[in-house]
Every structure is written in structure tokens, then in C-alpha cells.
Structure 1
Amino acid sequence: MKKTISGIRGIFGEDLNLKDVLEFCNNFSSLIKSKKCVIGKDTRPSGQMVKDVASASLMKNGIDIFNLETVPTPVVFREARNYGAGLVISSSHNPLEWNGIKFIIEGRGINEHELPKIIEHQEILKTKIGIETDLSSSYIDDAKKIIGNVENNPEIVIDIGGGAAKGFAPELLKKIGCNVLSINENLSECTRGPDPTSDNLADLIQATTKKEIGFAFDLDGDRLVVVRNGKKQSADVTLGLGVAKSLELGYKKFVLSIDTSVSVEKFIKEKGGTVQRSKVGEANVIDLMLQNNAQAGGEGSSGGFILPEFNYCREGILTSGLIASMLGTTEFNEILNYMESYYQIRDKTKIDSEFHDKVIDEIKSEFSKEYSEIISLDGIKGIIDENSWVLIRKSNTEDIIRVSAESNNEEKCKKIVKDTIKLVNQSYEKIR
């Protein structure tokens, strides 16, 4: 089981059980000052069971529940702004046998100071039982107000991935003026995995042959991957397009995760904007945004664009509309042309969690000998030159160490990743 600011995640029935759900939600009750909580789930088979138990645990402690049923994660975040707290029953991009809980306070994910209060037992004073009310969301109408109308009725294909974006992403895009074809709508018939950043998206590539663009979502609808001209784009491109739209709207202050493409940062600075870098992880990006009143940004590795005025989370559905509104514009082509000369590779190697810190310390020593600049904000990032870098960090969600790299030379990028994974595995063998 993983217990991080990204939420609680585990294989349901093995290392995440209903008893755990009761305990964590009991503890979460102590953080809910409004005594109100919005709850929703994705399409995982265990979702209804976990949601019912989570709701019961909160209501036992006097929390009123506002039930959204099956909705994308951004919808829960949006409504949690109005009610004070939220729960998302989801394990995001993890395999179907996993499930988990994302905790929301005042419209944002929990931070590192709040996490211990959820994973360590809290005694809650007995109070009256909370009530449960069904809730419908104004999310689509609210998103349309941000995006506006799209001209020329672009032809768009959406790969739902069997997830909760069904009924939200298609409806939003239709409402702003797009012609929409949906594929992989139902989980039982879906031909791809839960994570569009790692899947080859063969069906979507085929379906977009004569369409303007394709969008692929993960199970809870916060991740977005773009397919354009028969090619799956890197996850960073999603963020880059969102950034380009933000710049067009006049925004200048951005926060990017440390593993986001350097091309996005360079593009922002060339347009007169400023960039601060955060640790990897949606909650870390948002925490720095709030500290510095940033206007936009996100996490390139997850295809996650964040627009704080609308939502304190990765916004796959809103972003699909924002990108659709840019089709055919100078800004759309400019950012794609700018980013296409950079190559990002994100890989991983299985390392037992108990050795993560020791491996990273070992690598830090090696990086210090080889690279002129070392950044220890999150894991270890080695700056190779102005266009190339490599980052190793322990995963927040899996028993792996992630290796990310970028360069303006594809072969160079491949070699950086290959050599770094070899170094990580050697270090692991050395210390265990």
C-alpha cells in the first residue's frame, strides 16, 4: 500500500481492504471543518464498494455526504470548492485491480502536513450521524465559460479508456462546438490499459486518421494525452498546449514540476513569463502555486495542465476543450513546432521501497562526479547541458525508481536513460 499526498493506493483485497478505508476516512473526518464532503468514484469494479464504506465512515462522524456517483476526478475537485472537502475513490492510472482514495480539502489535495493526520489514528468525538444527498454538478457549464465557443466545428476523437470521462468530455466538447466521436466508452469492452501516457493508443491513432485531433483519458479523467497527425504526442505536449493557451490569455506566472520538459520553460520565458519548479506530484505543484499566486502550470510527466482559477488539480477534461479552441491557430502550431525538437523518455526500474533512499544517495555521489549542476529538490536531477538533463526519483505510487531524461538529440536521450538505469541497478545490487 502506498500512503502519500497523492492519496492512499493499493491492490484491493490484498494490501488495501475495507477496514483500511474505514480507518483512513475516520481520520480524514478530523480535517473536515465544514462537516460536508463531496464524493465520487471512477469506473473500477471495486469502486462502489469502497465508496459506500468511505461514505459510511464519514457519516458516522457527523459529515454530510454529497454523492456525485461516477464522475471524473476534476469534477469532484471542482465541487469540493463549494462544500469544503472531497473524496475521490480512484487509483488514477494504476491497473484495474488497484483502488485508492484521494483526499481534498478546500478544493486542493492534501499536503505533507495533513497526510500524517490521515494515516495515523484519530479519536473522533461522537456526534450526530451525517446524511447523504445526491449531487449533480455544473462542471460542464462552468468549463464552457472558461473556454468559450470553438469555431469551424473541428472533428475530434475521444478515447474514454473505459473511465469516468464518459458523459463529461464528449458533452463539453460538443457544447463548445466540436464534432465528437467517442471510442472505448465502456470498461468491459475497452481495448487499452488505464494509463494513456504508457499505452500505445493504437485504436485512437487509427480513428484519428482523417480527424483533426484525438484525446485519450485515464480512468478518472485527470490525465490527457494528445494524438495528432497519426502520432501519439508526449505527455509534455499536453501541458505545453495548455501553457500556450494561458500565455494567449495573458497569464505570466507558472509553476512546472521538476520533470517537465525544458522546452515548456523556454517557451514561457521567451513569451515574457516566469517559471518556478516544484517537486513531482500534483499536490506539490499546487502547493507551490498557492504559495506564489501562480496563474497556471502543471506536471509534464502525467499530461497534467492545472488552471488554479478553475481547479486545484490536473484538468484533463477542461484542457481538452482549451486545446480544441486553439486548433488551427498560430499559437497551436507554434508550441508544437517548438517542442518537437526535444525528446523526453520516462522509464522505470523495479527497486524495493526500503532501498529507495539509499540508492538515490549512492547515485547522487556518481552524478556529482559527472554533471556540472545537481538539483536535489526531488530525487536527483543532473543538468547535462542547456538542452539535456536526467532525473531519478522514487515513485509516490509504486515500488519503482523512475528515470526521466530529455535532450534535443534523440539518440543522446536514449543513451542517457540506458546508462542511468544501469547505474541505478548497479547501485541497488551494491547496497542490498
Structure 2
Amino acid sequence: MILSASGWRKIFTENNDEESKSKHIGLANRRLCALIGETFAQYTIAATQKKSPVIAVATDTRPTGSEIADAVLRALLCRGIKVHFLSVSAAPEIMAYARTLDGFLYISASHNPVGHNGIKFGLNDGGVVPGSEAKKLADSFRAKCGAVNAEEHADRLLAECSESSLKKVLESSAKYKKQALAEYENFLGKVITGFDQKKKQDKIFSEIKNALSKSPVSVLCDMNGSARTLSVDRKYMEERGIKFLSFNDNPGQIVHAIIPEPENLVHCAKAMTELQKSGKTDIKLGYMPDCDGDRGNIVYWDDSSKTAKPIPAQEVFALCVAAEISCSIWSGTESKIAVAVNGPTSMRTDEICAAFGACVFRAEVGEANVVNLAREKREEGYSVRILGEGSNGGNITYPSSVRDPLATIFAIIKLLAIRDSLEHDGTIRPGLFHLWCIKSGQENKYKPDFTLSDILASLPAYTTTGVSESRAVLHVKTEDKGKLKLRFQKLFEQEWKERRDELKEKYGIESYAADTTNGTKEIKNATDWNNGNGGLKIRFMDSSGTNKAFIWMRPSGTESVFRVMCDTKGIKPQEEHSLLEWETSILMRADAIGKQ
């Protein structure tokens, strides 16, 4: 099992097939789940200083979820925890609900294949526990697994749970699920509008509803059997004037790969095309969530080409950044604006933030790292409304601490719906897209009848490796990734001297600098590239010192792979391919040296 701050994951099917849809986890995994339950029970009691904390427990729709939940629930109850079991719940839903309790334990492996499963832990701040606390949990769990009597102890936890107590928890599930949905809906109002006050929320939603009554927008969702099949999506959108259509919307109806990347967004694009042909021309947006429903990347109808197209993950995040910062300015809530992102987030975001005068801060990959970095920056006085991992798509919008496809959809809807308006004094109040055009020096691109295609065309152009591309995933043998990076550094510095003239001539690259990220800390212009399992980025600059491209690397925290990527300014696929190939070749030679 991989134990990371973002969650603990492994293949949980008894047959150990990552693509298996079997629901059976087997005795060994059942024992692991009992020890996981006890670990979190003891942690929560210590953290809350309560004898019987109240926590929410839920699963996504993976087949193994029910057997994992049974073992975890037994251990939690055996250790005195009061449990509100929601059965199937989307990650943003249980995390919103947990704000009213003492914590949550969520059974999911996010975007991993269907045979995987895992656990996410959190208290009542709406997000997963931070890295330092996650380490305590992992250390405690390892100690339990390594104990001489580990199997017997796990069996006792499972056997000693009161059957009547477990029955009561299961029978109360529908009641608590209803409460969770209500809390989630209430919380979404704060996330989408940026206001706590109901009157101010209603004003923004009224603006959206009025705009959509004149120019309707329908949203299509490929649920792919995810946890969002039992969440608020349809009700929430339709109440706010957005027509909603869905397919693959039976819980557990996982009909294709789970990760919401372009290769799986084609199903939504195909359905959108068919609906457009049938006359439903108001279908402009589509999305596909992953299994736990915290990420939903986007498909849109391109009016110019009359085709349905997936929006790459990095562009989805960039679009949301432009939307949320524009909305902060439009609503008059802007003040010392900043955005928190992970290391491999494209420089598109930096360019958008520069146009608005906003700061960008970077953390290591991992949702928990970005969330905690945003918290640190808020304590320093920054307004961090939007944050996230551009490399994975989706966005986290404050006060939420987790990605949410509804936050993504409504960010885009706000861009489309909040348009120029006439003030009482006769002046024009620019809408969100118009504000972005003004701030970015592109007012010539603004037109009153703009579409999403026009908005996308106004974003900074970059060419970026997709996270799910085969080129982005390496398998290296070197276990000590810090030493691997040191060998990479030595080889890179040698080759830089040899290729410097070529890089200048071909790409205008004249210098470089290295940045490392570990947790919430970024070291710019690092001279020592050994930062263990953290992220390493090499930025390439032109003669003026302006960033033109970067290559990046990091061992995955949730899968047994080594991830790489490249980001280049402009539509330059050849440059992106060339720089990524160079990075890959040096890494594989550095890995080979370690095997000698």
C-alpha cells in the first residue's frame, strides 16, 4: 500500500487485478482495513480530545468499497467512534459535511483503475490531514502491521464489534446522507459566489439565472457510474437555471477508464455531438468526474468548428483562474490576490496572474500540499480564492479544500453569464470576460456576443505534456530518488555545455535555473537538486531572463511510477517533444548508472 498525504492506495481486489470489478477483498486486505480503522480512531480521539468523536464515513462506487467499509466500520465502532455512514458519497460532499462533525474517513482511490481502492482521512476543516499529520497516521499504521500479533489483533477488532451497533449505523445511513447533501448544497453557495451572506449569494445566482434565461446553456455529464450519481449535480444546476443531462448515471456503472483525461472525455464529446445533431443546440458544456467525484474535466461545443472538444487539464485550470480572479474584481472583493498551485502547473497560470497583478505560489504535487500552502499564504495576508493542481485539471475554490467539478462548471458559467451591464449613471460595468480582456491587454478580442471558444482563444498559448500520456510516465529502478536527481544534475550540467548553442539557435533558450518543491516549500534557483521524493523543475529562460519553458520530474506518491513533463510557451509541439525527450534520456542514463 502506498501511504501518501493525498491518500493511501493499493489494489484491493482479492485476485490482485487492477482492472477487476470483483467486490471481494480477501482476508489479508480485510485485516489491513481493520488496522486502518483503529489507526484513525486513535488519531481522532487524540486530535479532538474527545472520548467518542463523531466522524463521517463513505465510499465511492468501486465494487470493493462495501467490504472495505464493513471492516473499517467494525474497527471504528470497536474503538468507541460514533459514525455517520453515508454509504456512497462524492468527496466534496463528505468533506463539506465533515465540517459539522469531528472528521471523516473516505474510501476511494480517486482516478486510479477500478480494482484499486484506498483511504483519505480528515478532521473538520474540510480537507485531508496535512503532511505532518499524515506521517503520524502512516507511522502508526506501519507499527500496527509490523507487530508480532498483527493478524490476531485485526481479527479481534473485527470480531468484537457489536453487531447491533453496526446494524444501527447502517440503518441510519439514509438519514445522514440526506443531511450531508443539505450541508453540501449550503456550502456550495459560499464556494461558487465567494460570499457567506445568503443575500449576496442570491444576487450572483440571480445574475446567472437571468442571463441563462436569455441565452440558455445545458450541461451534459458522463457520470461513468461515479459517486456523483448520488450527489446534488442535477438538482443544484437546474435550480439555478442550467439544464442538466447525464448518461452512465447508475451508481457503479463504470463503463470505461476512470481518469478524466482526453482519452476518456471522448465519450462525453460523442454524446454532445449526437445531441447537437438532434437539435439540442444549447448543450455547450460537458464534464466527466473521476470515481470519487472531486475532479471533472471539461468538454465544450466549439461553435466555430461545430465540434465537441475536450479542454486539456491545464487549460481548464487556467480558465478557472481567469474566471475567479475576474469575479473577485467584479464583485469588489479583490485584495492582495494570490493563487496556490503545484510545481508542474503550466506557466499559463503565471501569465494570467501577472495580468491581474496576482502572485503565484507553488507547492509539491499533492492536493494536501497545495491546500496547506494556500492556508499559509492566507495567514500572511493574501487572498487565495482559487488554488489547485493545474497538471490534473479541476480547481479548488475557497472556502473549499477539495476539487469540485461543480466549482469548475460554475466558474465557466460565470464567465459566460456575467456580462457587461449599464450602471445607473450611464457607465458600462464590464463583465468577467471583458475584465480579463482589459487586464491582459486584449480588449480588441472582446465582443458582446462572445462564446466559450472566444474565451479559450484569449488564454495564453502553451504546449504542455498531458499527465496521462505514456511519455509522462517512466519506470526507474533507482530506489533513492534523491540520488537519481543528483546523477541527473551532473549529466544535465555536462550536456547543457554541449547543447547550449543549439538550444539558443532553435528555441531562444539562453539560461536555466532549478526549483525544488517539498510539501509547501519551494526553493528557487536551487544548487542541490537532491530533494528526495519532492518535485524538481528546470526552467529555461531567454536573453531577457523571461521563462520560456520548463521540464519537471517527481516520483508519484500514489502510484509506482516516476512522472515527467514539459511546458513550453506558444504552440510548439516540436519544442515540447524535444525537451521532454532530452529530460527522459538523461533520466534513463542516470538510472542506468545506479544499476551498474
TM-score between the two structures when normalised by the length of structure 1: 0.92
Give how far 1:213 is off: 1.5
Correspondence for 1:337: 457
Correspondence for 1:395: 556
**Please, which of 312, 327, 336 is the counterpart of residue 234 of structure 1?**
312
| 1:44-100 deviation digits (Å, cap 9, x = unpaired) | 000111112112211211111111211111111111111121111000000001000
Give how far 1:202 is off: 1.8
Whether contact under 8 Å (2:478, 2:594) holds in the other structure is no
Correspondence for 2:261: 197
Correspondence for 1:350: 475
Mapped to 1, the partners of 2:252 and 2:404 lie a distance apart of 25
The answer to whether residue 488 in structure 2 is matched with residue 363 in structure 1 is yes
Answer 1 or 2: which has greater helix percent. 2
Mapped to 2, the partners of 1:286 and 1:109 lie a distance apart of 9
Give how far 1:348 is off: 0.9
Change (3 A) 1:237 1:258: same
Change (3 A) 1:237 1:19: same
Answer 1 or 2: which has greater strand percent. 1
The answer to whether residue 288 in structure 2 is matched with residue 216 in structure 1 is yes
Whether contact under 8 Å (2:96, 2:187) holds in the other structure is no
| 1:121-179 deviation digits (Å, cap 9, x = unpaired) | 3799x9x9887343122213432453525332302211112211114323322222111
**Please, which of 169, 172, 177 is the counterpart of residue 236 of structure 2?**
172
Give how far 1:198 is off: 5.6
Change (3 A) 1:361 1:25: farther
Size of the aligned set, in residue pairs, is 430
| 1:161-212 deviation digits (Å, cap 9, x = unpaired) | 2211114323322222111221222366544210012634222112223321
Correspondence for 2:523: none
**Please, which of 134, 142, 152 is the counterpart of residue 187 of structure 2?**
142
Whether contact under 8 Å (1:352, 1:399) holds in the other structure is no
Change (3 A) 1:192 1:353: farther
- Stretches of structure 2 that go unaligned for 5 or more consecutive residues are 17-24, 145-152, 194-204, 277-282, 303-307, 329-333, 379-383, 420-432, 437-451, 467-471, 497-510, 518-533, 542-546
Mapped to 1, the partners of 2:95 and 2:319 lie a distance apart of 22
Mapped to 2, the partners of 1:92 and 1:8 lie a distance apart of 11
The answer to whether residue 65 in structure 2 is matched with residue 47 in structure 1 is yes
Correspondence for 1:381: 537
Give how far 1:353 is off: 7.1
Paired residue type of 2:241: G
Correspondence for 2:576: 413
Which region of structure 1 is more displaced relative to structure 2, 281-290 or 408-417? 408-417
Give how far 1:267 is off: 0.4
Change (3 A) 1:426 1:104: same
**Please, which of 131, 135, 144 is the counterpart of residue 116 of structure 1?**
135
| 1:362-407 deviation digits (Å, cap 9, x = unpaired) | 2233344536200121321000131311101110111111011111
- Stretches of structure 1 that go unaligned for 5 or more consecutive residues are none
State the Cα RMSD in Å: 2.6
**Please, which of 320, 325, 337 is the counterpart of residue 409 of structure 2?**
320
Whether contact under 8 Å (1:162, 1:187) holds in the other structure is yes
Which region of structure 1 is more displaced relative to structure 2, 138-147 or 250-259? 138-147
Give how far 1:339 is off: 3.4
Mapped to 2, the partners of 1:335 and 1:355 lie a distance apart of 44
Change (3 A) 1:296 1:334: farther
Give aligned-pair identity as a percent: 24
Mapped to 1, the partners of 2:389 and 2:248 lie a distance apart of 25
Mapped to 1, the partners of 2:322 and 2:234 lie a distance apart of 23
Which region of structure 1 is more displaced relative to structure 2, 13-22 or 162-171? 13-22
For residue 557 of structure 2, give the secondary structure of its aligned residue in structure 1: coil
Mapped to 2, the partners of 1:364 and 1:197 lie a distance apart of 31
TM-score between the two structures when normalised by the length of structure 2: 0.67
Mapped to 1, the partners of 2:119 and 2:366 lie a distance apart of 16
- Larger RCO (alpha carbons 8 Å, 6+ apart): 1
For residue 325 of structure 1, give the secondary structure of its aligned residue in structure 2: helix
Correspondence for 2:85: 67
Paired residue type of 1:202: V
Mapped to 2, the partners of 1:352 and 1:23 lie a distance apart of 31
Mapped to 1, the partners of 2:535 and 2:30 lie a distance apart of 33
